[in-house]
Amino acid sequence: MNYLSDDEIARLEHKANEIRQSIVEMLVAAGSGHTAGPLGMADIFTLLYFDVLKHDPKNPDWPERDRLVLSNGHICPVLYATLAHRGYFPIEELLTLRKFGSRLQGHPHRTALPGLETTSGPLGSGLSQAAGMALGLRMDNPYTSQYVYCLMSDGELQEGQTWEAAMLAGKERLHNLIAIIDRNAIQIDGYTEDVMPLEPLREKFESFNFDVQEVDGHNIRMVLDAIGKAQAVYSQPSVIIAHTIPGKGVDIFERDFHWHGNPPGKGPENIIKKGDQGKEALKKLRSLSGSIKPAEC
């Protein structure tokens, strides 16, 4: 895993802020979609696509690439925005999100866009898909250096299929499987610990023979270090529990589960009127941009 200088970290933070702005613009244009999760995961997606993953935007089907499985497909605005900023398709196309005939569907469709590895919609199935990919890569090459990253929500861990997949991954000691859980503690009906408690989450995955780390999901250097440690584990699969702030970057959205499935313009009006929500969100994100000053952006 490469060491990143302070300037390189700042460049990634700046890019994550640009991706957050694209997410808000997409959701406003669509008039529907999820806000909290995509904003909360922008730092991790930026790190993965701009530093960690082995991939090639000009050759999306490159056989030697790593795989990224997005299990919680409803946060696809952050995946689409990151792919566009990374060069997989034009950034201008982001404004077609959820439009009739658009390639940017409300949940990813594998054959619709370059760079998509799976079709996702039903929650809880991503870890099964990722475990199958990791096992297949290892069957082709027992010493494979290709990794499968499975991005998951905490709410979907309430699905039983997740734990069936975890049982298989632990049994097969899939060292090339790295799951990253967005532990933002919310879901559409409320807070996870009120709806269906998940804790003790670390101990649950450890009991399935996973190596487990917990990180601040907005600390890019900490997440990078955790991925490096996960790649150094050769006897078991890994999971990184990333504690994130849903709606990160826009204080009127942060930590409020009502923004899980509402776009700016259709969210709660307890702080700001619907008609001003998109403009206010972009204003706050653009003001943050000025506080991030990398040597080169």
**In the block, residue with structure tokens 């034009």:** 90
**9-20 in b/e burial notation, b at 16+ Cβ within 10 A?**
bbbbbbbbbbbb
The pLDDT averaged over each successive group of 10 residues in the chain (297 residues) is 90 98 98 98 98 98 98 98 98 98 96 96 95 98 96 97 98 98 97 97 98 98 98 97 98 96 94 94 91 54
| Cα separation, 220 vs 1, whole angstroms | 13
3-state SS track over the chain: CCCCCHHHHHHHHHHHHHHHHHHHHHHHHHCCCCCHHHHHCHHHHHHHHHHHCCCCCCCCCCCCCCEEEECCHHHHHHHHHHHHHHCCCCHHHHHHCCCCCCCCCCCCCCCCCCCCCCCCCCCCCHHHHHHHHHHHHHHHCCCCCCCEEEEEECHHHHCHHHHHHHHHHHHHCCCCEEEEEEECCEECCEEHHHHCCCCCHHHHHHHCCCEEEEEECCCHHHHHHHHHHHHCCCCCCEEEEEECCCCCCCCCCCCCHHHCCCCCCCCCCCCCCHHHHHHHHHHHHHHHHCCCCCCCC
Q: Whole-prediction pTM value? A: 0.96
CB atoms within 10 A of CB 249: 22
The two structure tokens encoding residue 116: 């998509």
**Res 294: pLDDT:** 56
Domain parsing of the chain, residue ranges: 6-289
6-289 has which fold? Answer: Rossmann fold (3.40.50)
The answer to whether the CB of 102 falls within 8 A of the CB of 32 is no
Residue 232 CB partners (closer than 8 Å, separation 6+)? none
Which among 126, 200, 214, 141 has a CA at the least distance from the CA of 175? 141
The pLDDT value recorded for residue 292 is 62
Q: Which residue has the tokens 């101990």?
A: 203
Q: Distance of alpha carbon 117 from its chain centroid, rounded?
A: 14
Structure tokens at 148: 């499968």
Q: What is the reported pLDDT for 291?
A: 66
